[in-house]
Chains A and B, each alone.
Chain A
Amino acid sequence: MLLTFAQWIQFTDFFTYVRSSTFFYPIVLSLHMCGIAMFGGMILLGDMRMLGMGMTRFKVSDFLDQLKTPKRYALLLMVTMGAILAGSKAEEYYYNTFFRVKMALLLGVALHGLVFRSLYARAAAWDEARVIPSQAKLAAALSLLLWTGLVIAGRGIGYIEPPLDKIHARLEQGISYFR
């Protein structure tokens, strides 16, 4: 059923255009990478601050609070660009193990946000406390693992050969030295 959906969506007008245009797919991918470049480090540093391993001159709640808005915009950018990328090669990604891992990790990130929602709301209390509570450190460590996994899985997507005999659409402007 997911396969049929993937096969349908990649042949819609918009995603066919994405696939056949010389520059659209690379530009979308660039924006996706810029999202990681600009904000991946903010997520990393936020987690490092929660673990007490960096940026210690900032108060925890202040640091997290100030970066909340940029992180949200970045997440929006990354997810939108990711959706455009995925839709254009939906069938190929359906067969790609790293893509599936990445989707699972994204689900993990969403769950992490839900589960630790109340924890982050109480962040102001950590500033007075001598030691950051271990639950907060757990949240930070899990977040680090999830996001690092996302980067690795995302990079790995490009390393699996698509099953050429099964898919019906390919990126028309491929890697130049493989053409």
Chain B
Amino acid sequence: MLAYDPSAYPLNQNEWSFPVCEVFHIVSFAIAISTVAMVDLRLLGLAFTSQPASKIWKDTAPWTLVGLVIVLISGPLIFFSDPVMYTYNLSFRFKMGALLLAILFNYTIQRKVALSDSSGALAKLTAVLSLGLWVSVVAGGLFIAFV
């Protein structure tokens, strides 16, 4: 059924390699989501009000990218420690859907709205949607252990 045996997988050999991988996952998603949240807070007019949203976007963009890259490396590493369980886990599937939407949303609509320095209803809606998507990703990840 599987092309390899998960018990022989490197991340399952050692008791602590899985938690270490998770810590990288948590720290990197904290970096990625917080920088997105900083842009969102600016779009909502709650922080950095003296600076244009485009500046916030441009300055946080490298950090968001670094965070996402490490997330997308540590994530699959964790997945392959128990691929069958994760594949069939409804919360994991939800998380992957939300993650795809969140990343796409961030680099299309949010990017456009931030770089155009718009304020008003559209900017606020974008920010709320963005925050909602990323919260769904985090919650989805957490509920993996509870469904």
A-to-B contact residues, CB < 8 Å: 25-27, 29-30, 33-34, 36-42, 44-45, 54-55, 57-58, 62, 66-67, 69-70, 148, 151-152, 155-156, 159, 173, 175-177
Contacts and interface: CB of A to CB of B under 8 A. Distances in A.
Contacts of A155: 19, 22-23, 26
Interface stretch (B44-52, B72-80, B104-112, B118-126): B44-52
Q: Is the interface of B mostly helix, strand, loop or mixed?
A: helix
Interface of B: 19, 22-23, 26-27, 29-35, 37-38, 41, 46-51, 55, 59-60, 63, 67, 85, 131, 134-135, 138-139, 141-143, 145-147
A62 B30 contact: no
A41 B63 contact: yes
Contact of B146 (A55, A58, A173): A173
Contact of B31 (A41, A67, A152, A175): A41
Contacts of B131: 38
A62 B50 contact: yes
Contacts of B138: 30, 33-34, 37
Given A30-B138, A175-B145, A36 B63 contact: no
Contacts of B67: 41
